[in-house]
Amino acid sequence: MTKLIVAIDGPSGAGKGTVARAVAQALGAVHVDTGAMYRAVAWMALQEQHSLDDEAAIAAMAAQVHIEVEGGRVSIDGHDVTRAIRTPEIDGAAARVARLPRVREVLVARQRVYGERDSIVMEGRDIGTVVFPHAQVKIYLDASADERARRRAADDAHSGGQAGQAAVARSIAARDRADVTRAASPLMIAADAVYIDTTDMAVSEVVDRVIELVSGKTGDPLIGTRGLHRATRSHGG
Ligand code: DC
């Protein structure tokens, strides 16, 4: 069966997680959050007291640990870090380990394995450009800086954090800068990606738009209502 790969890239707070999860569910595909992989490695690097610039040590550690990110829970070597990786400290630490080319190499190789096994909706920064340059569907989700800060601050309030919107806006701006200016696989819009500005869109509108694009690519207008498995089978895939 041909595997479907939907790549969703974009800056933080653009809505990638919510959209990717909903699209995966509608398609019956596996949702993979690659940001969680960088976060889990950062968490482990801090646990093991590595300097966050020690590329060789962190890459070697990343190559040895078992990371699971499917289905909404995140674990690394058996530690459930689902909540522990959503802190301001890990925001900063993940951005630092994501700069290290050898760490990226290890994680990108694992991300490609997901795409060999299952049909996936994978979110990150370099999915359409580096991890799966031949993904059938590539989406770049964006939103204004103000709206992204507002969403992140709301998330934070939800999880009990104290960060005000101004602090969140500063942190997002710093991470945007780090993502876009780093030498290794910086955040950029793939030439063949569909750019969606979600600033004034409801989540359901964005999800519908992505499913419409998947339908267009697969030639199956009902793919979002009955899921991928039946759809691909009916194509003899
Ligand atoms: O999406 P996120 O905020 O959970 O990502 C955490 C960090 O990892 C962020 O600094 C961007 C980086 N990242 C990356 O460089 N490449 C990816 N494919 C996913 C995330």
Tell me: pLDDT of 55 over 70. yes
Instruction: Give pLDDT, residue 130.
Output: 97
Dist. CA 187 → ligand 1 center (Å): 9
For the chain, give the mean pLDDT: 90
Q: CB-based burial of residue 134 (10 Å sphere; 0-12 exposed, 13-18 middle, 19+ buried)?
A: exposed
Residues 184-188 have a mean pLDDT of 92
Residue ID of nearest Cα to ligand 1 atom 1: 35
- Which whole-number Å values give the CA distances from 190 to 49, 131, 143, 218, in the listed order? 36, 12, 17, 20
**Is residue 171 within 6 Å of ligand 1 at its C-beta?**
no
Q: What is d(CA 43, CA 60) in angstroms, rounded to the nearest whole number? A: 15
Mutate to test the pocket of ligand 1, among 18, 31, 38 (most ligand atoms within 8 A of CB): 38
Note the pLDDT of residue 72: 82
Give this prediction's pTM. 0.91
Helices (H), the chain: 16-27, 34-47, 55-64, 88-97, 101-117, 145-158, 165-181, 203-218, 223-226, 228-234
CB of residue 132 inside a 6 A radius of ligand 1: no
Ligand 1, atom 18, lies closest to the CA of 124
